Amino acid sequence: MPQVSEQEQVTATDAALELIAELQAEYGPIMFHQSGGCCDGSSPMCYPQGDLLLSDADVKLGEIGGAPFYISGSQYEAWKHTELIIDVVPGRGGMFSLDNGREKRFLTRSKICSI
């Protein structure tokens, strides 16, 4: 069972919320995962909810547009004092991400959380 962050650490821009609604209308419930790896893994990946097996080390940062947003445990350790802001920019999404093929993709921006 993934861990849950003590506070919401992820938000979405209006453009991201529009794309999330579009994907939900097409695919039903969706989820996000930010792995922090190279290539596609450095962008937030969007999947039909339940298609990605989560590990006990994954952390749920919150929800955006009704979709849960998870991050790998190691990436959470590096970014735990950071608020992630999910945006949309022109381009292609990750190969296995639902935003692929739409000429727009999700992008993670960040800002340091004040303590």
pLDDT 10s digits, 5-20? 667 889 999 999 999 9
The CATH code of the domain at 3-112 is 2.60.300.12
Q: Are 86 and 108 in contact (CB under 8 A)?
A: yes
The reported pLDDT for the residue numbered 8 is: 80
Maximum average pLDDT range among 1-5, 55-59, 90-94: 55-59
Distance in angstroms (rounded) separating the CA atoms of residues 3 and 61: 9
Q: Look at residue 91 and tell me whether its pLDDT is greater than 90.
A: no
Sheet containing 104-112: order of strands? 10-12, 82-90, 104-112
Q: What backbone phi and psi angles, to 5 degrees, belong to 14?
A: -60, -40
The reported pLDDT for the residue numbered 110 is: 86
Dihedral, CA of residue 83, residue 115, residue 81 and residue 107, to nearest 10:
10
Region 68-82 average pLDDT: 89
Per residue in 26-70, pLDDT (tens digit) is 999 999 999 766 555 468 999 999 999 999 999 999 999 999 999
Distance in angstroms (rounded) separating the CA atoms of residues 38 and 26: 28
The reported pLDDT for the residue numbered 81 is: 87
Contacts of 30 (CB under 8 A, 6+ apart): 20, 23, 24, 46, 47, 48, 49, 67, 98
The reported pLDDT for the residue numbered 38 is: 57
